[in-house]
Amino acid sequence: MNPGQTKLLVVEDNPADRALFRIYLQNVPNLEIVEAEFGSAALELCRTLQPDCILLDYKLPDMDGLEFIGRLRVDAGCIPCAVVMLTGIADERVAVRAVNAGATDYVPKSENMESVLEHSIFNAIDKHRLERELERNRQNLARSEHLHRSLMKALPQLVWTADSECRLSFGNRRFWDYVGMPESDFERFDWNALLHVDDRERWWRNWRDRTAVALDFDIEVRLRSSSERQYRWHLVFAVRLETSLNGEWLGTCTDIENQKRAEQAMAQRQKWDSIGLLAGGIAHDFNNLLVGILGGASYASDTIPDDHPTQPILQNVVTSAERAAHLTRQLLAYAGKGAFFVQQVDLSAVVEQTCELVASSVPNNVQLRVHASPGLARIETDTGQVQQVVMNLVLNAVEAIPQSQGGVVFVRTYAVDESGADSVVVLEVRDTGRGMDPETQSRIFDPFFTTKFTGRGLGLAAVQGILRSSGASIDVTSAPGKGSTFTVRFRAILTPGLATSRADAAQRKSMPGAATILAIDDEPSVLKVCRAALERTGCTVLMAEDGPRGLRCLEEKGNEIQLILLDLGMPGMNGREVLEKIRASGNSVPVIVFSGYSEKEVAREFAGLNISSFLQKPFHASRLAAQVAEALDPRGGATAVRAAS
């Protein structure tokens, strides 16, 4: 068939009528006529021919016109083309039934049907096409509405529309659920009831400025959740609807609370990282100064009689320097450059000292009662870290007590025997405060979780991390209105006399004889302490204030030098770079690295360079001499890093 032709299927069992129809339509341009005598044959032709119109006789040999239309609808799902029913004059009621069933029009068989047949056929085709177009539009509209409703339900945002005065006209289900009012009350909705009081002025100023010039509205504000009864950060974005006749705006509110918290946590972390970097630098420099103080005072104390009048003063200097050294270790640990300095610790003594320190921070209406049992077995841990654990638990307990009521914080230590030989030393902190519900208890050890403002205290997650590193455990029992009890369990050392450190044993070693030692450090006070402490034992000490000078000295007197003392952190050329050049030259001279940083940090920095041992700054003069003796003694020299804390 040629394009533009109209296909007409004539379904008529009377050959005379079919011939008559051909005569009536013979002058119609571009009309192709196909004929069928039976309904079944016509249905088959419809599948292949796809006619534009069917001229259908009501009475067929195998079925009537109503059945034909029904089967035609079933096969195609709908009436695929225009159908003009042919009826006798007496059968017009049947024709009307056929139209109601889906026929497009009907034509009574009569003498004057020639004048109306062509018009009826083409009118039916146009009518059918229009009906199909309307049906498609209706279906598209229904799909669009369904899609719109589904989209409104599926969107995680709060979706709304409002006029230029921000008067609400629509909100999706999530919007009304968040607001906590029925959609039917939309006229009573007030943005100020939803907005945080601190964000309202900014919201309205931004809305007026943006909508006045039809710019997109974009703002971050806090919106109150009716279910959670708290404010959550949202990104609110609105655009003007171009098709709107009354200046309507379509807006969304996207929850960004978690993103805001992450940003705040990142900013907090960056701030603390910066402070940590500063603290690490200060601690490193302070450690160098402490070498002169602690090393010099200990050297002076070792060189004068025990009953000398200045001995108590020197001992006080040594004690103060050791306390300052402990402080710098805490700063280094905070900066990520420190580590645990494991030693045998009297838990009761640490608890008493720490509680005395925090007592000034306890309000007058809170009593701090401490019972530290004496004579408990010692635990193996870092004193400073245990102090922080005790301080954190006690201050948390104090803050759990309402200021308007007052209360008591009980702190005690005691021992528990477990499974025969195993013994446990327990720290218990109990308060009479407000207590915690099960949900809060389940989260108190989560990172960043707090019931106070952000950045307060060490945090129970950090406390748990410290205790795990020490092989200890922590448990909590609490109930609303009944206070809380934190129980920390440390494994005790049953034979403390055997836990002497290797560095302590080194202090008892004597120098195997005179030796030439090269000390490389950028701090003059450190070099002076090294010279004073080692020359007293008969050694010769060569001093170099930086890496290049040390390498030149080693090149000049390489055969004489039996040991090198090397600082890790030096400007220009650090300790690792110096040792790399020494080892690259083939020199295997023993090297003791000293630094204010931890043994772990030094081991990582000098990996693969074969250092003899590590000496923590600041140090006693006697400790330096003992460790040098150990490195020079062929029977005691080591090839791995050892801590001398």
Tell me the per-residue pLDDT of 244-255, one tens digit each, with 9 for 90 and over. Answer: 556 789 999 999
SS3 per-residue string spanning 446-492: CCCCCCCCCCCCCCHHHHHHHHHHCCCEEEEEECCCCCEEEEEEEEE
Q: How far is CA 56 from CA 33, 53, 59, 81, in A?
A: 13, 9, 9, 12
Mean pLDDT of 148-152: 67
Query: Residue 367 burial by CB count (10 A; 0-12/13-18/19+): exposed, middle or buried?
Result: middle
Which residue do the tokens 């030796």 mark?
515
Q: What percent of the chain has pLDDT over 70?
A: 83
- The residues with which 517 forms a beta bridge, in sequence order, are 541, 563
Arch. (CATH architecture) of 6-137: 3-Layer(aba) Sandwich (3.40)
Distance CA 396, CA 400 (A): 6
pLDDT tens, position by position, 106-138: 888 887 788 889 999 999 999 999 888 888 888
Q: Do domains 6-137 and 502-632 have the same CATH topology?
A: yes
Chain position carrying tokens 């629509």: 170
How many helices (H) and strands (E) in the chain?
A: 21, 22
Q: Is the pLDDT of residue 617 over 90?
A: no
Top-tier CATH class for 343-498? alpha beta
- Write down the pLDDT at residue 459: 62
Domain ranges of the chain: 6-137, 155-255, 343-498, 502-632
CATH class of 155-255: alpha beta
Q: pLDDT band for position 495 (50/70/90)?
A: low
Give yes or no for residue 447 having a pLDDT over 80: no
Reported confidence tier of residue 143, pLDDT bands at 50, 70, 90: confident
pLDDT (0 to 100) of residue 607: 83
The whole-number average pLDDT for the span 277-299 is 75
pLDDT at position 276 is 61
> How long, in residues, is the chain?
645
Q: Is 20 or 93 the better-scoring residue by pLDDT?
A: 20
Q: Is pLDDT at 410 greater than 50 in this prediction?
A: yes
Asked if the model's pLDDT at residue 163 lies above 70, the reply is yes
Contact 175, 162 (CB under 8 A): no
Whether the predicted pLDDT of 337 surpasses 80: no
User: 502-632 belongs to which homologous superfamily?
Assistant: Response regulator (3.40.50.2300)
Quick one: pLDDT band at residue 93, thresholds 50, 70, 90? confident
Q: What is the pLDDT of residue 627?
A: 87
pTM of the model: 0.43
Residue 423 has pLDDT above 90, yes or no: no
The tens digit of pLDDT for each residue in 449-489 reads: 566 533 343 467 667 767 776 778 899 999 998 999 999 99
Residue 9 to residue 55: CA distance in whole angstroms? 6
What are the pLDDT digits (tens) for 557-611? 878 899 999 998 888 898 899 999 998 888 889 999 988 776 777 788 888 888 8
Give strand ranges (E) for 494-581.
Answer: 516-520, 540-544, 561-567
Position 497 scores a pLDDT of 42
State how far the Cα of 281 lies from the Cα of 216, in Å rounded to an integer: 48
